[in-house]
């Protein structure tokens, strides 16, 4: 059995850490830091590119030797768009909390020389996907169309209570463009109110991987391959931050044929 569910290690500091080595894959890295007023976290990027996402709070951020100033402001991931910064390889970054901060650090291989880029909430596109109880709300932080990154794809999704998401089930575990792309993926989950729960299933056609996971506030799911739908229970909205990366910065997925009829086509 693969360990696909990463639970937070505590309430402060680095509470989640996923590396390619710990996940047993090649591309995606992910961490969450919870900082109090005045606390700092910093790192060099080395051979990886990084997307810093302020899940909540206000912080002063510097990257590539440049003070980018204070950014952020939402106090919950269920309130509006985040602030984010792209930091290329062979660079460094520092985040200083101005009050309580929840910071996500998303990473993937850096392949070229790029510039530090502030990703303003004003520039992030939003869309509604699905219909009925399959409706969910998407904020594109690092979409494949932006030309900012080498490898990273980063997106936020809000799934209302009683709705499904990443559904009908789809997968992206074959390097078979233009039909399907190989992308590793993490889901960082939050719930509103936080005492709620949700479910996520990760499974392959042959069921060599078939795990049903209890999603509670603050956990991270690993999706190395297979389908990966989510279901939020009544009364509790589900937020997740998706990080994807693979050999090509392209999101092309394959719907599970048995359930494709749900798309009405």
Arithmetic mean of pLDDT over the chain: 96
Contacts of 17 (CB under 8 A, 6+ apart): 9, 30, 31
Domain that holds residue 133: 5-263
Tens-digit pLDDT profile for residues 216-226: 999 999 999 99
Give the pLDDT band (50/70/90) at residue 265: low
Tens-digit pLDDT profile for residues 6-56: 999 989 999 999 999 999 999 999 999 999 999 999 999 999 999 999 999
The CA-atom distances, in angstroms, between 100 and each of 36, 68, 76, 82, 190 are: 5, 19, 11, 15, 16
The CATH number given to whatever domain includes residue 13 is 2.60.120.10
Tens-digit pLDDT profile for residues 96-143: 999 999 999 999 999 999 999 999 999 999 999 999 999 999 999 999
pTM above 0.75, yes or no: yes
Residue 211 has pLDDT above 90, yes or no: yes
Q: What pLDDT does residue 2 have? A: 64
- The number of distinct structural domains making up the chain is 1
Backbone angles phi and psi of 146, in degrees to 5: -85, -20
């Amino acid at each position: 059995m693969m360990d696909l569910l990463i639970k937070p290690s505590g309430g402060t500091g680095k509470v989640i850490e996923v590396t390619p080595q710990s996940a047993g894959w090649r591309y995606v890295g992910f961490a969450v830091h919870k900082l109090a007023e005045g606390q700092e976290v910093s790192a060099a990027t080395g051979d990886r590119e990084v997307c810093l996402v302020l899940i909540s709070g206000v912080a002063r951020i510097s990257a590539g030797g440049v003070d980018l100033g204070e950014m952020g402001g939402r106090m919950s991931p269920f309130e509006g768009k985040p602030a984010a910064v792209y930091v290329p390889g062979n660079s460094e970054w520092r985040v200083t909390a101005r009050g309580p901060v929840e910071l996500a650090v998303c990473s993937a291989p850096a392949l070229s020389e790029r510039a530090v880029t502030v990703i303003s909430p004003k520039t992030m596109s939003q869309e509604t996907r699905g219909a009925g109880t399959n409706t969910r709300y998407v904020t594109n932080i690092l979409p494949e169309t932006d030309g900012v990154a080498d490898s990273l794809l980063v997106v936020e999704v809000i799934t209302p209570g009683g709705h499904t998401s990443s559904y009908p089930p789809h997968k992206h575990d074959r390097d078979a463009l233009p039909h399907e792309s190989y992308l590793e993926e993490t889901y960082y989950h939050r719930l509103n109110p936080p005492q709620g729960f949700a479910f996520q299933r990760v499974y392959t056609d042959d069921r060599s991987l078939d795990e049903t996971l209890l999603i509670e506030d603050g956990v991270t799911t690993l999706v190395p391959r297979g389908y990966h739908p989510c279901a939020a229970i009544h009364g509790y909205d589900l937020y997740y931050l998706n990080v994807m990366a693979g050999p090509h910065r392209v999101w092309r997925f394959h719907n599970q044929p048995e359930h494709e009829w749900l798309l009405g086509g």
